[in-house]
Amino acid sequence: MIPPDTHLQIGSLLFEGLDQIDLTGPFEVLSRVPNSTYRVYAPSLDPVRDVRGLRILPDATLAEAPRLDVLHVPGGQGQEALMRDAAVLGWIRDQAAGAGHVLSVCTGALLLGAAGLLVGRRATTYWNAVHLLPFFGAEPVDERVVIDRDADGRTWVFAAGVTAGIDGALRLAAALRGDEAAQAIQLGMQYAPEPPFDSGTPRTAPPAIVARARAAAADLTARREATARAIAAERGIRPPEPASVTR
Amino acid sequence: MIPPDTHLQIGSLLFEGLDQIDLTGPFEVLSRVPNSTYRVYAPSLDPVRDVRGLRILPDATLAEAPRLDVLHVPGGQGQEALMRDAAVLGWIRDQAAGAGHVLSVCTGALLLGAAGLLVGRRATTYWNAVHLLPFFGAEPVDERVVIDRDADGRTWVFAAGVTAGIDGALRLAAALRGDEAAQAIQLGMQYAPEPPFDSGTPRTAPPAIVARARAAAADLTARREATARAIAAERGIRPPEPASVTR
């Protein structure tokens, strides 16, 4: 917990082709953290289109962002296009270096990996990308929210896929301002979920549905894997043996 | 379920001061309903600011909307400013008349009430507004998602507060395209929630937190109540006895 009178600068990265709820789920929580300024930052001031077409406006450019105390990196299909983007990765690296807390949601973790920030981290990401984490030097952990702390005292919150960002952001809010602050936010958003089916993970969803989802994403998964392998090779990270790459 | 080869027009109302996740939660689901066009409609093409500042762009104006098969009405504090807005309420009324399915989230239900659409309906809304439903002729039901069908065969899906829209939208997706379609969407968004606290309803949250939330919203609640009373009086709806107005 941070002293309540310390004002916090909280910022989310917004980018073309993100999965909007990777951003908007945590937005609902992070924009209500007491004594904080929360803003959304993008490479330019243009509207950004999510993978299904929702158009969101950033509050400011990456260059205009102050030093953030809390950095939030969402994911989604558009993440792959940023894996070699020096400007965005440099911004993530610089902001993470100064931040006390970093939250990634879904394949936002791969952006942290591309920025070189996952070496030695316990982490998670979207269920269909978790096998890629070792290419970035991370240890994949099969939990919905993984919290890791580094030698500098920085707290890393990794949320698994998409809606896991809500759970991750509530855990982060509790880390920042205490359990009661997080509970008040949870009440405000009436977050007492009742999914109508138990189909939210590849373990619980009907196998045919999982197979179709993997098939539909096969091209993207192959591209992500090629990128991860190339980055691992450049950095001398020994890629995991095929047997350990489980999906 | 609707024949799979029937293309569906799905639309969400976007308005100033909404609670963004009332829109973006269902967006994640509704934008992935097979064989559908999903768009976001607002009074004008200007960016709309949510209650905490997220700026979202509509796809088209209300006037440009086709006849919708599925109408989604979100809520949030900005709902109160629309309770006498003849243009918006007329649009809701007209679209609901032609739609086979209507989804309200949070205090979006009060907008349906102001449009005269709740008489005789079983319904729900945000936990701190559910006592207002009888003023619009509705029977409040203490469930996270309430599904009602009217004499014309129209399906009404009422989601309680804020994040309940995700659960409501998944129920709606199942009603539109079957359980497997909804399960595939649920897997895609990895929706297997793990709230870190059991603080998402006034029954389960710590009483002091509930009391503070009610106090913080007291002005808005009073304004909502005055509006609801006035509308009930105009329509000759007998307001509920005080004893039955439980919060």
Answer yes or no: is A242 within a domain.
no
CA distance B186 to B233: 43
User: Which of A183, A220, A247 has the highest number of chain B CBs within 10 A, making it the mutation to test binding with B?
Assistant: A183
More reliable by pLDDT, B82 or B2: B82
Residue A116, class by beta-carbon neighbours within 10 Å (0-12 exposed, 13-18 middle, 19+ buried)? middle
pLDDT band of residue B243 (cuts 50, 70, 90) is very low
Number of domains in chain B: 1
Question: Residue B196 is nearest to which of A182, A190, A205, comparing CB atoms?
Answer: A182
Question: Residue B196 is nearest to which of A161, A174, A206, comparing CB atoms?
Answer: A174
CA distance B17 to A200: 31
The number of beta carbons lying within 10 Å of the beta carbon of residue A155 is: 18
CA B134-B135-B138 angle, to 5 degrees, is 35
Q: How, if at all, do strands A155-159 and A145-149 pair?
A: antiparallel
More reliable by pLDDT, B31 or A246: B31
Tell me: pLDDT of A192 over 90. Answer: yes
CA distance B37 to B45: 19
Answer yes or no: is B246 within a domain.
no
Report the pLDDT value the prediction gives residue A242, as an integer from 0 to 100: 54
Answer yes or no: is A188 within a domain.
yes
Tell me: pLDDT of A1 over 90. Answer: no
CA distance A40 to A215: 33
CA A156-A159-A163 angle, to 5 degrees, is 150
Render pLDDT for A19-71 as a digit per residue (tens, 0 to 9): 999 999 999 999 999 999 999 999 999 999 999 999 999 999 999 999 999 99
Judging contacts by C-beta atoms under 8 Å, the chain B residues touching residue A183 are 197, 199, 205-206, 209
**CATH code of the domain in which A62 resides:** 3.40.50.880
Mean pLDDT for chain B? 95
Residue B116, class by beta-carbon neighbours within 10 Å (0-12 exposed, 13-18 middle, 19+ buried)? middle
Answer yes or no: is B241 within a domain.
no
Q: Which residue carries 């450049």 as its tokens?
A: A234
pTM value surpassing 0.90: yes
CA distance B109 to B13: 12
Q: In chain A, count H helices and then E strands.
A: 7, 11
pLDDT band of residue A241 (cuts 50, 70, 90) is low
Full 3-state SS string of B177-193: HCHHHHHHHHHHCCCCC
Cβ–Cβ under 8 Å, residues A56 and A20: yes
Nearest-neighbour CA in chain A from B153: distance (Å): 22
pLDDT band of residue A243 (cuts 50, 70, 90) is very low
Put simply, the answer to whether B53 touches A59 (Cβ < 8 Å) is yes
Tell me: pLDDT of B245 over 70. Answer: no
> By C-alpha distance, which of B136, B122, B158, B143 is closest to B240?
B136
Helices (H), A99-200: 108-114, 164-177, 179-188
Average pLDDT estimate for A205-219: 97
> By C-alpha distance, which of A20, A41, A38, A22 is closest to A30?
A38
Tell me: pLDDT of B48 over 50. Answer: yes
Determine the 3-state secondary structure of A119 from DSSP: coil
Cβ–Cβ under 8 Å, residues B165 and B74: yes
Task: Spell out where chain B has E strands.
Answer: 8-13, 36-42, 48-49, 55-57, 60-61, 70-73, 101-105, 122-123, 139-140, 145-149, 155-159
CA A185-A189-A190 angle, to 5 degrees, is 110
pLDDT band of residue B21 (cuts 50, 70, 90) is very high
Strand order across the beta sheet in which A145-149 lies: A60-61, A36-42, A8-13, A70-73, A101-105, A155-159, A145-149
Largest Cα span, chain A? 52
Tell me which residue range forms the domain holding B199: 6-233
Put simply, the answer to whether A209 touches B59 (Cβ < 8 Å) is no
Is this complex scored with an ipTM above 0.90?
yes
Judging contacts by C-beta atoms under 8 Å, the chain B residues touching residue A48 are none
Tell me: pLDDT of A169 over 60. Answer: yes
R_g of chain A computed on alpha carbons? 17
Given the residues A106, A123, A133, A157, the one annotated as active site: A106
Answer yes or no: is A113 within a domain.
yes
Nearest-neighbour CA in chain A from B236: distance (Å): 32
Nearest-neighbour CA in chain A from B53: distance (Å): 8
Contacts of B208 (CB under 8 A, 6+ apart): none
Cβ–Cβ under 8 Å, residues B50 and B156: no
Tell me: pLDDT of A186 over 80. Answer: yes
Structure tokens at A52: 């299904």
CA distances to A113, B3, B79, B103 from B119, rounded to whole Å, are 54, 30, 19, 16
Mean pLDDT for chain A? 95
CA distance B96 to B108: 13
Answer yes or no: is A226 within a domain.
yes
Put simply, the answer to whether B199 touches A209 (Cβ < 8 Å) is no
> By C-alpha distance, which of B57, B28, B74, B14 is closest to A56?
B57
Answer yes or no: is B139 within a domain.
yes
Report the pLDDT value the prediction gives residue B242, as an integer from 0 to 100: 54
Answer yes or no: is B244 within a domain.
no
Q: Which residue carries 């890393």 as its tokens?
A: A156
**A128: closest chain B residue by CA:** B188
Q: Which residues of B are catalytic?
A: 106
